[in-house]
Amino acid sequence: MPWFVALALLVVPIAEIFVIIQVGQVIGGWPTVALLLVESAFGAWLIKREGRRAWRALQSSFETGKMPGRELADAALVLVGGTLLLTPGFITDIFGFFFVLPFTRPLARRAMTAFFSRRVTTQLGTPGLGTFIPGPGTPGPQRPTNDVIQGEVIDPEKK
């Protein structure tokens, strides 16, 4: 995976510059700059709106006590999409809008879930075959400590 990231960091800026030059040749230099600025401003507004919406949904799921899987995925997609929208260029804007827009985000969420499910299965082994990965800490029951904390109990009803 690190080679893929290095390749992307090299290829994406070159592709962005190429696309910006091509768009500039078709519509002109200043309109291209204006389009990039308008896309960034619209992206910033959209991130603010969708970020608030994702945060409220995340808080609501915590308050109701349900597992916030979908809400966490949406928040992650808004964060990644927002970063892509604020990066100048048309290619990153396309992916950024795909992650941030509410009507395309479910498709991105499904793709992200499938990608990470494959990664987890690859890392942990086939489910149900007894793959064990030890975690931090010591196995077995924890012994209570003999720490005594001095203090005074205050009854709230006797104030």
> Nearest CA to 35 among 111, 110, 90?
90
Instruction: Look at residue 143 in the predicted model and tell me its pLDDT.
Output: 62
Domain ranges in the chain are 7-126
Instruction: Give the DSSP H or E segment for 109.
Output: helix 105-124
Q: 81-115 b/e with 16+ CB inside 10 Å = b? A: bbebbebebbbbbebbbbbbeeeebeebbeebeee
Q: Would you give the DSSP letter of residue 140?
A: S
Q: Judge residue 47's burial from the number of C-beta atoms within 10 Å of its C-beta, 0-12 exposed, 13-18 middle, 19 or more buried.
A: buried
Which tens digits make up the pLDDT trace of 46-78?
888 887 888 888 888 888 887 778 888 888 888
What parts of the chain have a pLDDT lower than 70?
Answer: 1, 121-145, 159
Instruction: Look at residue 126 in the predicted model and tell me its pLDDT.
Output: 55
The CA distances from residue 42 to 35, 36, 39, 53, 95, in Å, are 10, 10, 5, 16, 14
CA dihedral in degrees (44, 49, 51, 56; nearest 10)?
170
Instruction: Look at residue 54 in the predicted model and tell me its pLDDT.
Output: 81
